[in-house]
Structure 1
Amino acid sequence: MSDAPSDSAPAGRDYRETVFLPETPFPMRGGLPQKEPLILEQWGDLYGRLRAERQKQDAPLYVLHDGPPYANGDIHIGHALNKTLKDFVVRSRFLLGYDVDYVPGWDCHGLPIEWKIEEQYRAKGRRKDEVSKAEFRAACRDYAAGWIDVQAAQFKRLGITGDFGNRYATMDFGTEAAIVREFHKFKNSGQLYRGSKPVMWSPVERTALADAEIEYHDHVSPTIWVKFPVIAATDDHPDDLLAFRHSTPSVVIWTTTPWTIPANRAISFGPEIAYGLYEVQSIEQDLEFQPWARAGDRLILADKLAEDVMKAAKVATFTRLDDIDPAGLVCAHPLAELDDGYRFNVPLLDGDHVTDDAGTGFVHTAPGHGADDYEVWRAHGHHEVPDTVDQDGAYYPGVPLFAGLKILETEGKKTGKFGPANGAVTEKLIEAGTLLARGRLEHSYPMSWRSRAPVIFRNTPQWFIRMDTALDHGSGETLREIALKSIDQTAFHPAAGKNRIRSMVEGRPDWLVSRQRAWGTPLAMFVDKHTGHPLHDPEVDARIVAAVEAGGADAWFETPDAEFLGLHDPANYEKVQDILDVWFDSGCTHAFALEPRTPEHGYTGDRPSHWPADLYLEGSDQHRGWFQSNLLEGSGTRGRAPYKAVLTHGFTQDENGEKMSKSRGNTVDPATVIKESGADILRLWVALVDYAEDQRIGKQILQTTVDAYRKLRNTVRYLLGALSDFDEAERVDYADMAPLERFILHRLWELDGQVRTAYDTYRFQDVVRPVLEFCSGDLSALYFDIRKDSLYCDRPDAIRRRAARTVMHEVFLRLTAWLAPLTPFTMEEAWTTRYPDGGTNCARVIPETPAEWCDGQGATKWRAINDALRVVNHGLEIERAHKNIGGALDAAPVVVLDHPYYFAFNVLAEQAGMPVNEFAAEVFRTSTAVLHEGLSPSMQDQHAFAEFKEGANTVTLANVPGVWARIDKASFAKCARSWRRDGTVGDDKEYPDLSARDADAVRWWDTHR
């Protein structure tokens, strides 16, 4: 029955038992938090069974390599997004008929865990240096192992399927051995070298950091303008340093790091910048302080910036005296007159990095504290780089005037705050008479992403992998060239990721791979004390790898050197104690997760090489992290990237588009969402967002997701009810189906192509949104509503009812397959409700869709009919609101249509074998209907047509031009069973209160019950 009755049904027999209403145990409410754990238990080793089945079928292999999350704490919403997207890939590839290789992994080494263990020891009153390295590393290992178990359980609860039984972890003994083996490849190929150059250093963490470990935050820094007195036009007269102090001009520099002034060794200038000699004429008056500039001061500045500098120095008037070519000038250090330790020449060096966008047009150059400073210093033939600051961020004892002062605080409540160094240097410049001005600037400053503390550039011996030396791969290409070629050979989703990682690789420095910490994989090598070069001996390397494989990284630190060195004299070799950058660790994961894994790796099965992976999938920040470290490692050892495609997603924000943080209380805990709503709700949210951009989540957004879920669930529930007891004997051939059934099958054919393409290109949003629109539009609002009357009231063997159930069967088969990767719990529940012995829904592939279902012309006509239906529904709503009718079955609409609409009704009615008015009534869900073509003979004349259109009860819609409807009341008697007002009511004397159709159905019922 299509509508509630407008008045009570005629008195007589109660026909409710004869109506074939949908029946299903599939509940309307999901109850996902309680139901999903039961489904997980039923699945058991789902991944293993899926792989075994696909391998029996000799299915093509698809490899997704897991970027390892860090084993430290409960999973957060970013983890949930990332792992769910990966699960979409795994499940959709199974759905498309692949054998899918996916081994979850974990990153275990590094500072966050090291800090946690240090905190635990401090809480027990023990300092880190009071604990043996072996004990400390064991504590780190236990801590990471515990969190791996926790996170694995949380991922499984989210519905993630993968080879968890053979998960990888960077701290496994076999894995650490594989990392050492990969490191040895770089060592032995000559790509590894030890260099003393400035690197980003975290005094708080006491280690070097890579670009991927840095994030930038707004920070307020002191700014100073400093005068470097010119002492000569050459460097031939160093003893004249003070002779020119009061009679010669000064080159002015500007910096936001006053603490680097003691490390200054040069000034850089831009060869294309115009410079001038300026003289101060007068100083601003009535100031609250006395400026350091004086009338008569002569300053060398970039012409473009001179006015800004004078303004900062509170200079009222000045004049330009002459052009200046800085090339060949030599200055005194601004602290020279305070301490003999600064009595050295400061040459001016041309450098392409200098601009006149800000500052003075000159760059104070401290080669130990800046990458550009270092490069320009070396480019001009200088090789000695001064060491000014120690690992704790304090000046070395030998630094004049400032020994022991801290750049950054590394202990206590002020940890991470800038220390007294900046202020002390500024005060000494004032004392020396070389400070011109000072101020403050808010700017972007590099911070460690772990400690959130500022970092500094610091000259320190580290181990690097060369980016621009030809590799021994036969092509003579450099690591940078091979990496760039690999990028061009990789598919990126979205495509913009290619340019992003390409620009990073083009401009990156040599790969810094050493760290000065305890918890990690060691740079397991010996260095010749006489030459400074790493030892290249295959037998030594083999013994090292074997020891690590047997006892983990601890073996490197605990085994006597002689056991590794064999015939080599340990006295001649230095054992490197540094550990590898964790990005090198995770950059090697392809070597042991994709290539053959052995029992030593912890793998129990027979696993051939799956290298390279079909896909890497991580957040967009990994262009500078994991994507790049794998790219460089694979390019350096195998001549190409270890992946064919890279997919990146954005970051999750709160509902207002703001970054989540615990302190602000705007985080969304995936465990809470799962507990309250179920994992399928969280998964559906992931499917609905455009993951390529930053996404938002919060209560309101999740409520919208719940509403979408209900639509999907109710659609599946209706199908299950309508298909109760359906079997293949009922099936109706396509040739015998009515146009409405053919239209729904066409939509299945259309969606089938869209869904396959969307899954193939990882556009999950393009799966769920069209399917949702299909469920709410084509199914609920059109097909289900039209065919309810037939499903409920036609006799079971009626071809119209059988055809509807045949189509619904095909819809059910495809919806439960299409949505299985996205909402696997719900689709599993639906599938097993209908097919309790049919195996898991997760093992299915998308059913093949017959080409004959494609009917584009019919679909075009149905779009026209749907537009006409909207106008009629609008009229019905108005009449119901005015209480002129109780429901659509009380109505008899009269509809006037322009030719395209009228033509569509006529053609489809003819295909259905029905009079056009009867067909229209079926579409409108009304008891009767009358159609007229505009200006046709049936409208008599143009006047009558105009009169109809302008009638008080005639409705139309602005966006449906060419359709007008008037809702009249149906005049026939109401059928006591279907409530349709039908002219055949009373024709059957045995059932006088029923229409002919319903009387026939009840007679069937009475005979067969």
Structure 2
Amino acid sequence: MCAETPDYKATLNLPKTDFPMRAGLPTREPEWLDRWARIGIYDRLRDKAKDGPRTPFTLHDGPPYANGHLHIGHALNKTIKDMIVRSHQMMGRDARYVPGWDCHGLPIEWKIEEQYRAKGLDKDDVPLVDFRQECRRFAEGWIDIQRDEFQRLGITGNWADPYLTMDFHAERVIAEEFMKFVMNGALYQGSKPVMWSPVEKTALAEAEVEYHDRQTDAIWVKFPVAGVSEARAEHVNQLAKKMYPESDQDAEPDALASAGLLGRAAVLIWTTTPWTIPQNRAICFGSDIGYGLYEVTGTPDECWASVGERYVIADALAETAFARARLEYGMVRRLRDVSASELSALVCHHPFHGAADAQGEWDYPVPLYPGDHVTDDAGTGFVHTAPSHGDDDYQIGRDHGLEMTFNIMDDSSFRADLPFFGGQRIYDDKGKSGGANKAVIDKLVQVGALLARQRITISDAHSWRSKAPVIRLNRPQWFAAIDRDLNDGQDTYGTTIRSRALTSIDSLVKWTPQSGRNRLYSMIEARPDWVLSRQRAWGVPLTCFTKRGTKPSDPDFLLRDPAVNARIAAAFEAEGADAWYQDGAKARFLAPDYNPDDWEQVFDILDVWFDSGSTHAFVLRDRADGTADGIADVYMEGTDQHRGWFHSSLLQACGTLGRAPYRNVVTHGFTLDEKGNKMSKSLGNTIAPDDVVKQYGADILRLWVAQTDYTADQRIGPEILKGVADGYRRLRNTLRFMLGALGHYSEVDRMNPADMPELEQWVLHRLAELDDQVRAGYASFDFQGVYQQLFNFCTVDLSAFYFDIRKDALYCDGDTDRARAARCVMDLLFHRLTTWLAPILPFTTEDVWLSRFPGEGSSVHLRDMPDTPAKWRNEALAEKWAMVRRARRVVTAALEVQRTAKVIGASLEAAPLVHVTDADMLAALKTVAFEDICITSDITLTADPAPADAFRMPEIEGIGVTFAKAEGQKCQRCWKILPDVGQHAHPETCGRCSAALG
């Protein structure tokens, strides 16, 4: 009777770990958050700087707005920031992160106004300070909500002491930074077109508008030629004599023009803003555009043109314009060319010139000027110019001394006493079209000045808050001059804000991606002066005074007094910006040095971009956890912030610091749905971070961030997240195998790398390579590159190769050098993989770390990435093992064919013959246990040519595999099929297993 086979499974060193296969992140992550808060991770990291020299590293947080739940863009942004901070901390820096919030401005004020309107209340009936306090409370509520939502994503930082732009000290510093502009000469009051919201009744910055389609009326309008500019009379006279030698040589120039030059003609303009026609002051043309004089020879019924009328128009646009006027082919003839020289001499009448009851409002000349902004892409080749309502128009007006108009009020209505149009509004209180356009068009028809009209759709500016259209409107505003030499002595990088900014962009800042440099440079190069003032209530006021009876151009118009500034700053520090609005504030700040009755107090609110642009001063400069020089190592935001926070911070700091407040600018793109569409609630394609966290856990969301090229637009959706989760499971399995092997590790297993088998030395070589790649990737903010390297290493180099090979030795060897070396390498892998992955997967790596090193004060996030000896690198060994791996690929592929055909069930049933024609490869294979590498029971290597039926892989030449089954019996402990099984002390085992059993 045969004895029973012993239970050899119990003798194996099988994996030993409590690390679960299923992560359970949604329920377990909050436990780690509580633990980190309990042991004070962030503060303990700051204490590490006291233990030894650690160079500070500061990422300055671009403040999100405190008025709603987080969206997926917030999650992307804050996760990238967290990866930057964590990685630099673990690379040996003292990486500080102070989260902050933008608290002032229109969005919050608008929310409070909406609440008032819902209750039937009027904002203007509430004391201003009370209203501001309601805005403050609203922001405080959302800060608490957003703080919890950010922390749930695993974002580390000084959450106990964030910065808020509405803190009293912050409001003081913002006011001080503004007063530096007062003192250094950058500030001035001017009247020029700004983006104006009729609904919100305030100026807006470019960053506060977005562009949407809207319908409008495009109109073709006749400006009758009045004559010749006096300044060009002699020129025209000579021109006319050349053109009409038989005319009366003694005639006046105007008469000559009427006789044939351009008499009876009208210049045709085209505009999509009919309401601007009453504000017209000039017409612009393109010097390089071809123009012609056209005459109407016939008209259809119901046409606004008359036979005999002459029009000057760009030749490239004439056909389209006349077709729109229903002037078909044969109804118009071209008389001749019209030169730029002729055009520059002309003066036109305004279309409403001489109109009955116009009270002389438009009885002024309308000159023609060349303009670089004029094209013949659309319209007529002539641009009607209203200096009060456009940037190009304003510049033309300033260059030629044109008069500004003030016909439009804050609510977009025409001034009440304007003939024909008084009180008509461009937009009503809800942003819907008012009656202004229709009134102007109807009047143009009445006076015979309209040639054609067309309903079209255009992309136009809208307020990003109210979603209502905005207009370009001339309003007295406060500006920061960006081309004025500043009186501040900070001339290292230039004397003007623009020159300092451009020098900073090119010489002081590194850009990721580099395209960010080009975008911001072009914006700064072309931008106008900065509009600092807003006509609102919630924010930091423009803390300045103007002298009564003076003009903005007078040298004593603005009060510039350090003592007054100091009193304002002290009051703001103690009471916040509300101090500006208290009764008696003017006397409090001016007396006893000045008579308050001599001065006007300015009550406009600072542009909130000035607030956030000033954060470098009260965060980087003033805080103990700031920076010594007030400069951040990194600013990181979305690409929209090239015209937002990057932009305003640069301008503000160049006006006060004399240079950019950052050394690196990192930019991410926008988040789209899986199809590449912009996310919107109306489309139902939004994904809330909270939903992802509840389903998958924050680490999956962070892993999605790490896998994307954040410098471009990213896509996210259910299928993409499923793919991320699958990749996470593969990575987790690698970490779990490592932990299982380390369950048998002790310090006895530590070995000198030179004494390890080649396979372990190759793993150490890969670690040395990866250490360089990971550190370089993190230093350059390339998280996608870091994660791809680590994921491939874990799943391909480790799971599919090294672990697959070494599990036999780990499980079945006894106390052998091979098993000890493998466990030693596992320990070295553990310390590197956990710290390399921790910035990306803080929850999972903490789980891994605590599975091995439990304890109340234990955390992977208190560790640095360990130094990896350069001597581990061995290029010659790496080349050899690259050949081994190529050969292994052919063998494993050949065995898979046999497994699919069910010839074998496992690779250990095989003992293939491998034909290798390359002598170097054959020699390399003979120096390793190639059967163990291929996980077969035996293998034969030969230089003999492979037979025709041998398995080959086209991409790996010179190797053929002939299949053969292993001979012998199956070892009941390691499952190898070997001839010596059953010949040792322990029954049914091979020699290796019998020796391991003792």
Coarse TM-score class (shorter-chain normalised): over 0.9
The question of 1:189 aligning with 2:184 is answered: yes
C-alpha separation in 1, matches of 2:303 and 2:841: 70
1:235–1:345 CA contact under 8 A, matched in 2: no
Please tell me whether the aligned partners of residues 13 and 744 of structure 2 are also in contact (alpha carbons under 8 angstroms). Answer: no
Identity of aligned residues (%): 51
- Pick aligned residue for 1:583 from 595, 606, 609: 609
Per-residue deviation at 1:587? 0.6
List per-residue Cα deviations over 1:118-156 (Å, max 9, x = no partner). 122222221111211111100000000111111111111
Find the counterpart in structure 2 of residue 955 from structure 1: 951
Q: Secondary structure at the match of 2:729?
A: helix
Q: Kindly indicate whether the alpha-carbon contact (under 8 Å) linking 1:865 and 1:905 is maintained by their aligned counterparts in 2.
A: no
How far apart, CA to CA, are the structure 1 residues paired with 2:439 and 2:959? 84
Distance 1:609 1:848, change over 3 A: closer
Match of 2:130 in 1: 135
- Give the match for residue 247 of structure 2: none
Shift of 1:455: 0.8
Cα 1:452/1:949, change in 2 over 3 Å: farther
TM-score by structure 1 length?
0.92
Quote the Cα distance in structure 2 between the aligned partners of 1:880 and 1:276: 84
Match of 1:763 among 782, 795, 801: 782
Amino acid at match of 2:468: A
Tell whether the 8 Å contact from 2:193 to 2:394 is kept in structure 1 after alignment. yes
Provide closer, same or farther for how the CA distance between residues 320 and 606 of structure 1 changes in structure 2, counting only shifts above 3 A.
closer
Number of the residue aligned with 1:930: 940
Q: Confirm or deny that 1:323 pairs with 2:316.
A: no
Any idea what SS the aligned residue of 1:231 has?
A: strand
Question: Helix, strand or coil: the match of 1:969?
Answer: coil
Is 1:292 equivalent to 2:292 in the alignment? no
Question: Which of 590, 594, 600 in structure 2 is aligned with 1:565?
Answer: 590
For 1:363, which of 383, 394, 397 is the aligned residue?
A: 383
Quote the residue 1:83 is aligned against.
Answer: 78
CA pair 607-775 structure 1, distance change in 2 beyond 3 A: closer
Q: 1:60 aligns with which of 51, 55, 68?
A: 55
What are the residue-to-residue correspondences of 1:530-549 with 2, within 5 Å?
530-532=549-551, 533-549=557-573
In 2, Cα distance between the equivalents of 1:448 and 1:932?
77
Q: Is the 8 A contact 1:137 1:519 kept in 2?
A: yes
Which residue identity does 1:117 align to in structure 2?
A: I
Residues 235, 347 of structure 1: 8 Å contact kept: no
Tell me the amino acid that sits aligned with residue 449 of structure 2: T
Map 1:10-409 to 2 at 5 A. Answer: 12-44=5-37, 45-234=40-229, 248-283=264-299, 290-315=302-327, 316-317=329-330, 318-324=332-338, 325-336=342-353, 337-338=355-356, 339-340=358-359, 341-382=361-402, 384-409=403-428
Does structure 1 conserve the Cα–Cα contact (< 8 Å) formed by 2:926 and 2:941? no
Query: What's the C-alpha RMSD, in Å, of the aligned pairs?
Result: 2.1
Q: CA shift at 1:558, angstroms?
A: 0.8
Counterpart residue type for residue 963 of structure 2: I
Q: Distance in 1 between matches of 2:708 and 2:628?
A: 35
Task: Give the aligned partner of residue 241 of structure 2.
Answer: none
2:440 — aligned with what? Answer: 425
> Equivalent residue of 1:735, what SS?
helix
Aligned-pair distance for 1:272?
3.3
Q: Distance in 2 between matches of 1:464 and 1:679?
A: 44
**Partner amino acid for 2:276?**
T
Cα deviation per residue 1:684-711 (whole Å; 9 max; x = unaligned)? 1111100000001111111111111112
Distance 2:531 2:902 in 1: 79
1: CA distance, partners of 2:879 / 2:306: 85
The equivalent of 2:961 in structure 1 is 965
* Alpha carbons 2:884, 2:924 under 8 Å: kept: no
Closer/same/farther in 2, CA of residues 956 and 170 from structure 1, 3 Å limit: same
Give, in angstroms, the shift of residue 235 of structure 1. 6.2
* CA shift digits 1:722-776 (9 cap, x unpaired): 1113122112221221121111111111111100000010001111111100111
2:245 aligns with none
1:386 aligns to what SS in structure 2? Answer: coil
- Where 1:962 maps in the other structure, the secondary structure is strand
2:343 is paired with a residue whose SS is coil
1:540 alignment partner AA? V
How many angstroms apart in 1 are the aligned matches of 2:112 and 2:254? 56
Q: Name the CA distance, whole Å, in 1 between partners of 2:781 and 2:625.
A: 29
Post-superposition Cα deviations, 1:813-834, rounded to whole Å, max 9, x if no partner, equal: 1100100110011101111111
* 1:619–1:651 CA contact under 8 A, matched in 2: yes
- Give 3-state SS (helix, strand or coil) of 2:912's partner: strand
What amino acid sits opposite 2:840 in the alignment?
Answer: L
Match of 1:4 in 2: none
Q: Tell me, yes or no, if structure 1 residue 632 matches structure 2 residue 658.
A: no
How far did 1:609 drift?
Answer: 3.3
- SS of 2:740's partner is helix
| One-letter identity of the residue aligned with 1:26 | F
SS for the counterpart of 2:511 is strand
Note the C-alpha offset of 1:908: 5.4
- Distance across 2 between alignment mates of 1:980 and 1:15: 14
How far apart are 1:425 and its partner, in Å?
A: 1.3
Query: In the TM superposition, what whole-angstrom CA distance separates every residue of 1:234-288 from its partner, at most 9, and x where no partner exists?
Result: 3699999xx99997110000001111111111111223333221112234x6xxx
Distance change in 2, residues 1:587/1:224 (3 Å): same
* Partner SS state of residue 617, structure 1: strand
Partner SS, residue 978 of structure 2: coil
Contact 1:179-1:521 within 8 A present in 2 as well: yes
* Letter of the 1:175 counterpart: A
| CA distance in 1: counterparts of 2:957 and 2:443, whole angstroms | 83
Q: Is 1:443 paired with 2:441?
A: no
CA distance in 1, matches of 2:834, 2:464: 43
Q: How does 1:650-689 map to 2 (within 5 A)?
A: 650-689=669-708
Gaps in structure 2 of 5+ consecutive residues? 232-251, 552-556
Q: What SS does structure 2 have at the residue aligned with 1:327?
A: helix
Any idea what SS the aligned residue of 1:419 has?
A: coil
* Preserved contact between residue 225 and residue 263 of structure 2 (Cα < 8 Å): no
2:618 maps to which residue? 592
Candidates 489, 493, 499, aligned match of 1:481: 499
Of residues 641, 644, 648 in structure 1, which corresponds to 2:663? 644
Residue pair 1:37, 1:157 contacting (<8 A) in 2 also: yes
Compute the displacement of 1:607 (Å).
6.1
* Distance 1:695-1:238 versus aligned 2 partners, 3 A rule: farther
- What is the distance in 2 between the residues matched to 1:593 and 1:983? 75
- Determine if contact 2:58/2:626 at 8 Å carries over to the other structure: no
> What do residues 907-949 of structure 1 show as CA deviations (whole Å, max 9, x unaligned)?
3543x5xxxxxx221111011111122xxxxx3xxxxx3xx43
**Residue 908 of structure 2 is aligned to residue 884 of structure 1:** no
- Alignment partner, residue 700 of structure 1: 719
How far residue 976 of structure 1 moved from its aligned partner, in angstroms, is: 1.1
Name the structure 1 match of 2:554: none
- In 1, Cα distance between the equivalents of 2:947 and 2:418? 96
Comparing 747-756 and 418-427, the one that deviates more: 418-427
Query: With structure 2 as the length reference, what TM-score do the two structures score?
Result: 0.93
What are the ranges of 5 or more consecutive residues in structure 1 without an aligned counterpart? 1-8, 598-604, 913-918, 934-938, 940-944, 1004-1009
Residue by residue over 1:576-619, the C-alpha shift from the partner in whole angstroms, topping out at 9 and shown as x without a partner, is 1100000011010000000023xxxxxxx686635111110000
Supply the distance in 1 between the matched residues of 2:987 and 2:119 (Cα, whole angstroms). Answer: 92
2:823 pairs, out of 805, 816, 819, with 805
How far 1:478 moved relative to its partner?
Answer: 1.6
Q: Which of the residues 927, 931, 947 maps onto 1:921?
A: 931
1:550 correspondence with 2:574: yes
Give the structure 2 partner of residue 1006 of structure 1: none
What one-letter code is carried by the residue in structure 1 that aligns with 2:458?
Answer: H
- Which of 843, 849, 857 is 2:876 aligned to? 857
Deviations 1:364-400 (A, max 9, x none): 0111111111111121123x31111111111111221
By how many angstroms is 1:848 displaced? 1.2
The AA in structure 2 aligned to 1:371 is: D
